[in-house]
Each structure stands twice: as structure tokens, then as C-alpha cells.
């Protein structure tokens, strides 16, 4: 692997003062890329054992809070083996410090990869900023990102909040890419179990807290009242709650949500945002309804959803979507 640069005192790419490694090589060729020359895998110098030791010596300085890795793309297949060696060496020597890593690939794509080093690398970084740069979604106000489709996915939030869940006996459902697991079951969980009629789905997992740290978690469902949300969110500065029931709340990345899904779809198909229409009935739909060209609330939605909607249609059980599409002359 080649690298373009090592910054010894970086205050831009992550919290605090950081050591930053810019790797060379990226296959995505995003239009408008700020670091175009580094897309070439031959750019820069070879990343040797001597360079690794130099980087680790920088990371070891007392004022350095962590290591940031970007490029190029650290998750380009050609780079992963060397980047993983960097990450493992850093973790062995400085376990109290964190790693931020940027990639143009989506986490969902990387999580399904069969490549030898991908999964271990994913599990080793503390915060992943994922997704390609999309010029149409460029936003200079964003923290750590160039366009609004990109996400900040932090394992630190989950590490920080687990002791609070344990101490207060808070039930939580941890969502994986292809499944989920629970730490404990209480009356709120029992309500959902009865609603869905699937007792096998909500079994307590005795290894839940270990798995929450070792696995990639996509979403939490925390079984608390709305008044109790502030207690655990204080430990999760990179996350937000989106509630659609009184029994639990969804917890997702602060810069994530259904609105980012709209951005990804319209970018892929070349659709204008003002040409979109979104339907919703829960608190976790509010950002999406406000973002879409037309936001439609169902009659069965809560008042907080209706008050931000452009139009209120009939209920889900009364053909609300069809009614709205006819109202706007789509049908």
C-alpha cells in the first residue's frame, strides 16, 4: 500500500488533536472529490514498517487523542490488509485512544463482503464515516462529512451507554444487518412480543453486552418512556431517538434517518427532491416528511407528525396512500 501523507497535528478529521493517515487508492472516482490525486494507488510513497513505527510514535504523544484514516479509501480491497495492520498495532499500544475511518463504501455493502480482512477491520474501528461523496448533496455545514448521504457510525456511543443500561435494568434490542438480540425482557418487551405473536424473537441473550461491543449495531430499540430518553442519550452524543410508540424508541445515528434514504434514492435515479412525496404516521417519520417535496401524514398519526405535514390523508386502514395520490393528481 502507498500513502499520500501523515499529519501529526490534525484538528479537522475527528475530535481533539489527531494523527491522520491518508492512504492512496480509491476505485469510486466520486465527481467533485476533494482529493482526486490520491485516487491513484501508485500516488505517494510505500507504507513500510518504518513508516508504521513513525506513525505509532506520533500516535503515542500525550496530546494526541486518536488516529484518523482516510484517503483514498482505506477499505479499497488493495489497502485493507495494511490498514488492518495499522489498526491492530494502534489498538495494542493505545487501547485508550480511538480510531476514526472514512470510506466511500456503505456499511451495508462492506458487512456483506467475503473479503478476508473486511469484517475484522470494520469491527476494529471506533467510528466509521461511510458513503460516497455526492456533489448534488454537498453541504459545507456538515461535521466530518462532505455530503448529506454520508453517515457517522460510532461504536463509542454503544460502549458508553451499556453501563447505564445495566445499572438501570433497561431493556434494549440491538439490530444487526441480518438479525437482532436482546439484553433483557421486561413488561414493555412483553407487550411487543404479544403484539407480534413471536416469543422466540425476544429471548434474552446472556452475551448481549459483549456482542453489543464486538458486532456492528445498526439500530437500537430502547424500551423506555419518552421522559426517560434524556438519561441514556446523554451517553450517546452521536445518536438520536426517533419514537413511534409509547413503549420504546428507535435510536439511530444523529445524521441518519429516512431522509437520508430519500437522498440516496433520488441521487441514484436522478430525481429532484421537489418531485418526491413521503408518507408517515410515527415520530420516526418526521425528518423524512419535512425533507420530502410533499410530506403526507396519515390520519392515524400523532399530532406531532400532523403539525409538520403538508397534507393529512385518511388512515392506513382507510386507503390513505391512494387517497393522497388522487388528491395530488398522481392517480
Domain extent listing, the chain:
2-149, 158-252, 258-327
CATH of 158-252, one of 1.10.760.10, 3.30.470.10, 2.60.40.10, 3.30.1240.10: 3.30.1240.10
* DSSP label at residue 217: P
Cell numbers for 221: 430499540
Residue 177 has what pLDDT? 83
| CATH code for the structural domain at 258-327 | 3.40.50.1000
* 284 neighbors 243 (Cβ within 8 angstroms): yes
Note the pLDDT tens digit of each residue in 221-265.
999 999 999 999 988 988 899 888 889 999 998 877 899 889 888
For residue 152, give the 3-state DSSP assignment: strand
Backbone angles phi, psi at 137, to 5 degrees: -110, 15
Query: Is the model's pLDDT at 107 over the cut of 90?
Result: no
Q: Per-residue pLDDT averaged across 86-114, rounded?
A: 93
For residue 268, give the 3-state DSSP assignment: helix
* 272 neighbors 288 (Cβ within 8 angstroms): no
Partnered with residue 6 across adjacent β-strands are: 21
Residue 312 has what pLDDT? 97
For 61, residues 6+ apart whose C-beta sits below 8 A from its C-beta are none
Partnered with residue 249 across adjacent β-strands are: 222
Q: Per-residue pLDDT averaged across 108-114, rounded?
A: 84
Note the pLDDT tens digit of each residue in 128-150.
999 999 999 999 899 899 999 99
User: How large a percentage of the chain has pLDDT more than 90?
Assistant: 72
For residue 102, give the 3-state DSSP assignment: strand
Residue 10 has what pLDDT? 96
Residue 305 has what pLDDT? 95
Sheet containing 277-280: which strands, arranged edge to edge?
Answer: 277-280, 294-297, 311-312
Cell numbers for 197: 405473536
Note the pLDDT tens digit of each residue in 40-96.
999 999 999 999 999 999 999 999 999 999 999 999 999 999 999 999 999 999 999
Closest CA relative to residue 133, chosen from 114, 124, 146: 146
Q: Per-residue pLDDT averaged across 191-209, rounded?
A: 89
Residue 92 has what pLDDT? 97
- pTM exceeds 0.75, yes or no: no
Burial 163-196 (b: 16+ CB within 10 A, else e): eebeeeebbbbbbeeeebbbbbbeebbeebbeee
User: What is the separation of C-alpha 246 from the centre of its chain, rounded to a whole number of angstroms?
Assistant: 24
Residue 153 has what pLDDT? 85
Task: Specify the fold of 2-149.
Answer: TIM Barrel (3.20.20)
For 173, residues 6+ apart whose C-beta sits below 8 A from its C-beta are 180, 181, 182, 189, 202, 220, 221, 223, 248
Average model confidence (pLDDT) across the chain = 93
CA atoms within 13 A on the CB side of 7: 17
CA distances from 151 to 121, 233, 246 (A): 18, 18, 27
Note the pLDDT tens digit of each residue in 158-176.
988 999 999 999 999 999 9
Integer Cα distance of 147 and 132 in angstroms: 8
Integer Cα distance of 26 and 3 in angstroms: 12
Residue 195 has what pLDDT? 86
Query: Is the model's pLDDT at 115 over the cut of 90?
Result: no
Amino acid at each position: 500500500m502507498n500513502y499520500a501523507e501523515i499529519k501529526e497535528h490534525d484538528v479537522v478529521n475527528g475530535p481533539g488533536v489527531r494523527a491522520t493517515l491518508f492512504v492512496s487508492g480509491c476505485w469510486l472516482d466520486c465527481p467533485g472529490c476533494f482529493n482526486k490525486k490520491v485516487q491513484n494507488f501508485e500516488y505517494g510513497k510505500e507504507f513500510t514498517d518504518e513508516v508504521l513505527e513513525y506513525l505509532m510514535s506520533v500516535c503515542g504523544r500525550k496530546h494526541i487523542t486518536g488516529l484518523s484514516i482516510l484517503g483514498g479509501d482505506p477499505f479499497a480491497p488493495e489497502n485493507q490488509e495494511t490498514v488492518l495492520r495499522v489498526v491492530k498495532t494502534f489498538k495494542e499500544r493505545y487501547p485508550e485512544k480511538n480510531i476514526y475511518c472514512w470510506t466511500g463504501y456503505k456499511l451495508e455493502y462492506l458487512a456483506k463482503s467475503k473479503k478476508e480482512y473486511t469484517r475484522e477491520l470494520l469491527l476494529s474501528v471506533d467510528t466509521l464515516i461511510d458513503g460516497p461523496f455526492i456533489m448534488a448533496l454537498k453541504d459545507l455545514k456538515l461535521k466530518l462529512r462532505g455530503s448529506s448521504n454520508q453517515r457517522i457510525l460510532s461504536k463509542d456511543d454503544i460502549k458508553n451507554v451499556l453501563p447505564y443500561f445495566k445499572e438501570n435494568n433497561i431493556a434494549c434490542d440491538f439490530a444487526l444487518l441480518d438479525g437482532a438480540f436482546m439484553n433483557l425482557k421486561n413488561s414493555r418487551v412483553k407487550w411487543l412480543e404479544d403484539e407480534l405473536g413471536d416469543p422466540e424473537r425476544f429471548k434474552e441473550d446472556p452475551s448481549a453486552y459483549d456482542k453489543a461491543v464486538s458486532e456492528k449495531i445498526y439500530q437500537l430499540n430502547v424500551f423506555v418512556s419518552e421522559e426517560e430518553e434524556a438519561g441514556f442519550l446523554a451517553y450517546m452524543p452521536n445518536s438520536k431517538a426517533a419514537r413511534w410508540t409509547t413503549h420504546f424508541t428507535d435510536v439511530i445515528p444523529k445524521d441518519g434517518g429516512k431522509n437520508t434514504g430519500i437522498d440516496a434514492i433520488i441521487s441514484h435515479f436522478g430525481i429532484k427532491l421537489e418531485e418526491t412525496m413521503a408518507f408517515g404516521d410515527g415520530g420516526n417519520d418526521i425528518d423524512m416528511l419535512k425533507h420530502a417535496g410533499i410530506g403526507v401524514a396519515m390520519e392515524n398519526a400523532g399530532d406531532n407528525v400532523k403539525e409538520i405535514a403538508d397534507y393529512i390523508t385518511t388512515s392506513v386502514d382507510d386507503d390513505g396512500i391512494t387517497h393522497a395520490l388522487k388528491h395530488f393528481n398522481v392517480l
